Each structure stands twice: as C-alpha cells, then as structure tokens.
Amino acid sequence: MNEQEIRVLVADDELGIREGCRRILMEEGFEVATASDGIEALEIFDGGAKYSVALVDLMMPRLGGLELIKKLRALDPDLLLIIITAHATIDTAVEGTKQGAYSYIPKPFTPDELLLTIRNGLERQALALEAKRLREERERRLLEVASERSKSGTILKCITDGLLVINLEKLVVLRNNAAARILPKASRQSVPFSLSALEDPKIEALIYEVFQGDPGPRIVSQELEIGKSTFMVNVSPVIEPGGETSGAVAVFRDITELKKLETAKSMFVSMVAHELKSPLAATEGWLNLLLSGLIKDNPKEARHVIERSHLRVKTLRTLVSELLSITAIETGNFQLRRSSVDMAAVAHQAVDAAREKAAAKGISVTFTDCPLETGCTALADGEALGLVFTNLIDNAIKYTPNGGAVTVWIAQNGMYVSVSVEDNGVGIEAEELDKIFEEFYRVKNEYTTDIVGTGLGLSLVKRLVELHQGRIEVESTPGAGSIFTVKVPLS
Ligand SMILES: Nc1ncnc2c1ncn2[C@@H]1O[C@H](COP(=O)(O)OP(=O)(O)OP(=O)(O)O)[C@@H](O)[C@H]1O
Ligand SMILES: [Mg+2]
C-alpha cells in the first residue's frame, strides 16, 4: 500500500504529542487526523474516511483510551491500534493489547521509534489481511467444491441408469443407487469392492475387454439379461489427460420395455404374414383351378370357385383395413362419420354375417332385438360399430368350442345403449381381463393354442368404442364363458 493512502488517527489530549505526531507522519507521506479525546476520535473515525492506523493515548478526558480501543476494534477488526502512554507500565500495556492494540509507545518517543512501530505494525497488518484473504478464498473454494460434489452426487444418485466405476485393480470404486438395484450382489458390498464380487462373468468380460484393448476412446456394448430384465450395458474407458486409461465406467440401461415392443412388433409382422398367407394361398389355388381349364365346362362349379375366392379376398380386405384403422386411430387420423344409427340393426347385420362361421362349428347364435319402442338409436359411426360387433361376435365363436351358444342382445340403460355378446366358451382368467385390450395381446393357454389371430381385434374395438365416448366391459368365468358389453351414449 502506498503510504499516501494510509490514514492515521492520533487521539491524545496533549496538543504537543498530537501535533508532533502529525508533523512526523505527514513528512513520511501519511495522512493524519487528530482528536483531543476519545469521543472526538470516534466521531472522526466514523466520518467516512478509512483509517488504517490509530494512535491512542490511554489517559484522555470524556472517553479514556482503553474504552476507545474497544470501540474502535469493534468498528474495524483490521485497524492497527497503537497505544501512546506516559504510564508505560506492563499492566496498562497488557490491558491495552487485550483490548486488541498491537503495541504501545512510551512517551516521550523519538520520530524513529514512532515510525518503526507503525511500519512494523503495518507490515503485520498487511500479512494478517493477506492471511485472512487466503483463508476466506479457501473457504469459498471448499464451499464450491462441496456444492459441486453434492451436485454430482445427487445427479449420480438420481439417474435411472445403473453406473459402476472400476479402477485398474478391478475394484468397483463407485456404484450409484440404480446399480445397487440392478445388481443385487453389488448392493451387499461396500465400496470399494472387487469386480468379481458381482459374480457375473459377462460383465467382467466386458470390462476386461475395455482394459485390454488399444488405449483410446472405445465403447464396448452388449445386451445382457440380468434377473428378469434386459439391459444394454455400455462400458467406456476413463482416459486421463495424458492419454492413459485409469479405469472404466459401466452404464446399465434397462431396455426390457423396448425389447418387449420389439418382440411385439416382430410377432405382429409374423402374425400378419400368417393371416395374409392362408387366404392368399387359397385364392391362388382357386384361380389356378380356373386357369387350368379343368372346370371350364362346368359353369356351376366355376361360379362356386369364384365365390370362394371372393370371400377370401373380402377377409383379406377386412384384415388390412383393421390394420389401417388401428394405425389411423393411433396417429390421430381417424375420423368418425356420425349419424343417427339404429344399433339393433347394426348388431343384427353383424350376427347374420357370422351365421355361416357359427354353423361350421355347430354354434347357435341368438339375437334379441331392441326392447324399446322408441328404438335404440345412437349418434354414431355405423360402419365403425359394425366392426366392433363383428369382432366381438367373431371372438365369441372363435373362443367357444363346437356346439356352444352365442347370444347377442340390446338394452338401454340410463344414457347408454348397450350391446352384449355372450358366449359359453373357454372364458378368460381375471388377471388377463385388462390385458386382452392391449395391442397384439393374446391369451396363451391350452384352449387357445390352436386358434389363430393377431391380437388386434379387441384393441381396435376398445379404441373405436372410446372414440364414441363409450365404454367396453367384460365379465368372464374361465371354462364357463364371457360377456362383452359395449355402451354407447344415446343420441
Ligand atoms: N369371447 C372370448 N372368450 C375367450 N377369450 C377371448 C374372447 N375374446 C377375446 N378373448 C381373448 O382375448 C385375446 C385378444 O382378443 P383379440 O380379439 O384382440 O385378438 P384375437 O382374437 O386373438 O385376434 P384377432 O381378433 O385380431 O384376429 C384373444 O387372443 C383371446 O385369448
Ligand atoms: Mg379377435
């Protein structure tokens, strides 16, 4: 610090001392203010200018030196306080330094004595200030580091991917909560622990691969089955600034749901292919027969063949349009064409369309018409509802053994028209009841193994009913039969 900027406050009731100090200090470039007692000194000190040094006489009127020192120290903990005293006894000096004075100068003193004491004091003050600054800086840094640590700690804790950090000694040195959940063997160990404690040779092999390969930013990935789930495990080396590998980070991402979706997708494709293949093969067969000319002289037989082909092509078209409808609803591109629809008529039509199929299995189909004279009319999309009833009746026939019975009836309850399709077929277990409305879901048991289907029917039915602000309900008793009821708001 330049001494021009150093202000010294001299508090002494002796004019000679005050002026003497002023002269000596000003010659040395200090700025000096003087006060003749403690009160005046306090007023000057509080006046706004920053004082670095205060020379304080112990014996002053109004406010004594010791009191003044106490008050000045409280106002500025860094102030350099020096006692000027004629009573240079050890007692007063000790008392003064206890109150926070740096040193004392006995009167009378020479200019050199005064300057030496002040300069030494200033040097010490500068050192103390520097030490304080460093201490504060360190504390601030520590706080920053602590908050950084707690931030990254929180992030590590919260991420849903499992994370292990392994050092070159094959010790797991970090494991987040998700990793402990995914790898039960890891949760029982306290960090650090040996990689082999995971008892999973596949994970170990992946990590060794990273350690043994050429150094560089390589990532080894593999799908692993852990417990009941499937994980994509990515292992990457920890590269130091110098380029050498110091460990590896393994990230475990749960892809079970994705895998399920993938499986469902390929199941869907093979189901669709299967469903398309048999009507196409049949149609091709009928067409070959026509082309062969074998029945060209038998118009009745030829017509029969054409009719069969036509039926197969119609089935194909239904399947394809079901697929398209599902996709359209899924992507929000399906528009209902609503009009006043007689639900009974639509259901009746669906029943009639199914009679042939039912007859082939010896299943009776009974239809009970709308019980109301006012009719069972809903503001609905007749074609869409036709699809709904066709699917439900088709299921009832499909999942009912030969010789069974299917009953379709209409009722009006409250604000709804309801159409129920009842069968006395294989029924559905309670825990399957929610799932059957999921896309591609098919119940797998001894009764259903030989029945083909895409598992799309009910999923489309539910979507169509919900587009009508309606509901679909199901009651079922395994081995005894099921009732599916569709409720659509009355117009
Ligand atoms: N009436 C029923 N009785 C017993 N089980 C049924 C009945 N209706 C549906 N299910 C069960 O619900 C599953 C899903 O039915 P959904 O109609 O969606 O598909 P699907 O009939 O298998 O195939 P799709 O209708 O696309 O040809 C069926 O596989 C079957 O297990
Ligand atoms: Mg079906």
The pLDDT of 152-168, averaged and rounded, is 89
Same structural domain for residues 56 and 128?
yes
Same structural domain for residues 265 and 244?
no
Residue 462 CB neighbours (<10 A): 20
143 within domain boundaries: no
CA angle, 457 then 462 then 467, to 5°? 125
pLDDT digits (tens, 9 = 90+) for 336-391: 999 999 999 999 999 999 999 999 999 999 999 888 776 788 989 999 999 999 99
CATH number, domain at 292? Answer: 1.10.287.130
Domain end marker among 313, 330, 347: 330
139 within domain boundaries: no
Same structural domain for residues 220 and 274?
no
Question: For ligand 1, what atom is nearest to the CA of residue 400?
Answer: 3
CATH number, domain at 205? Answer: 3.30.450.20
Same structural domain for residues 315 and 440?
no
Q: Per the structure, how many domains does the chain have?
A: 4
Same structural domain for residues 315 and 194?
no
Question: For ligand 1, what atom is nearest to the CA of residue 426?
Answer: 4
The pLDDT value given to residue 395: 96
Confidence of residue 149 (pLDDT cuts 50, 70, 90): confident
In whole angstroms, how far apart are CA 230 and each of 10, 116, 193, 259? 82, 80, 24, 8
Backbone angles phi, psi at 261, to 5 degrees: -60, -40
Same structural domain for residues 405 and 363?
yes
Residue 220 CB neighbours (<10 A): 18
Residue numbers of the domain that contains 422: 339-489
Domain end marker among 239, 254, 269: 254
Same structural domain for residues 325 and 344?
no
Q: What is the gyration radius of the CA atoms in the chain, in angstroms?
A: 47
Among 352-356, 374-378, 422-426, 443-447, which stretch is predicted with the lowest mean pLDDT?
Answer: 374-378
Six token digits for residue 312 = 């197969």
The pLDDT value given to residue 158: 85
Q: Where are the beta strands (DSSP E) in 25-170?
A: 31-35, 53-57, 80-85, 103-106, 162-167
Question: Where does residue 262 rank: exposed (0-12), middle (13-18), buried (19+ CB within 10 A)?
Answer: exposed
Average pLDDT over the chain, rounded to an integer: 89
Same structural domain for residues 60 and 176?
no
Whole-model pTM: value is 0.49
CA dist., res. 187 & res. 198, Å (int): 9
Same structural domain for residues 356 and 475?
yes
Parallel, antiparallel, or unpaired: how do β-strands 405-413 and 416-423 relate?
antiparallel
111 within domain boundaries: yes
Cα of 302 to ligand 1 centre, how many Å? 35
Residue 110 has pLDDT above 70, yes or no: yes
CATH number, domain at 109? Answer: 3.40.50.2300
Q: Which amino acid is at 477?
A: T
140 within domain boundaries: no
Same structural domain for residues 282 and 247?
no
Q: Residue 421 in contact with residue 396, Cβ under 8 Å? A: yes
17 within domain boundaries: yes
152 within domain boundaries: no
142 within domain boundaries: no
CATH number, domain at 375? Answer: 3.30.565.10
Q: Residue 62 in contact with residue 38, Cβ under 8 Å? A: yes
Cα of 113 to ligand 2 centre, how many Å? 109
Which of 395, 432, 477 to probe ligand 1 with, by most ligand atoms within 8 A of CB? 395
Measuring CA to CA, which residue among 417, 391, 416, 394 is closest to residue 406? 394
Domain end marker among 280, 308, 330: 330
Cα of 398 to ligand 2 centre, how many Å? 8
Which of 436, 444, 448, 484 to probe ligand 1 with, by most ligand atoms within 8 A of CB? 436
207 within domain boundaries: yes
Same structural domain for residues 165 and 91?
no
Q: Which helix (H) or strand (E) holds 486?
A: strand 481-489
Same structural domain for residues 360 and 471?
yes
The pLDDT of 18-39, averaged and rounded, is 92
Question: For ligand 1, what atom is nearest to the CA of residue 448?
Answer: 31
Could you tell me if the CB of 456 is within 6 A of ligand 1? yes
